[in-house]
Amino acid sequence: MPLDPDDTICFCFHVPLRKVESFCRREKPKAASQISECLAAGTGCGWCIPMLRKVHTKICGEYKPWWKQEEAVDYHSAERDAGQDAIDSETYAAGRAKYLAETKRQPPPE
């Protein structure tokens, strides 16, 4: 089952998918990194960044400046890299725990 609009997409800052989609439709950020202006999504442990990029690309289209023509090597997990329509909320959330353990990153304090 795909992610529900009310599912949390950034666990560090408790940002639901709906907020990120609304932000992208309203602000039309050129780069996915600008989604950080939406309740700081993506600025904690980094787990959700690939999903934020997918949401950004889906809503805003792909924008690649000339200096980023080649794809960076992405070594992260399949759970996080799956599109929002290809993963359920439990699998997405479980993947983050694995990511935090593998990378030894810490979520921001509550």
Contact positions vs ligand FES (CB under 6 A)? 10-12, 42-48, 107
Residue 85 corresponds to which amino acid? D
36 class by beta-carbon count within 10 Å (0-12 exposed, 13-18 middle, 19+ buried): middle
Of 43 and 57, nearer to ligand FES (C-beta) is 43
CB of 89 to ligand FES, least distance (A): 13
Q: What is the C-alpha to C-alpha distance for residues 47 and 57, in angstroms, rounded to an integer?
A: 17
Least distance between ligand FES and beta carbon 70 (Å):
25
Shortest distance in whole angstroms from residue 66 CB to ligand FES? 28
Nearer to ligand FES, 16 or 42 (CB): 42
Residues 6+ apart with CB under 8 A from 100: 45, 47, 106, 107
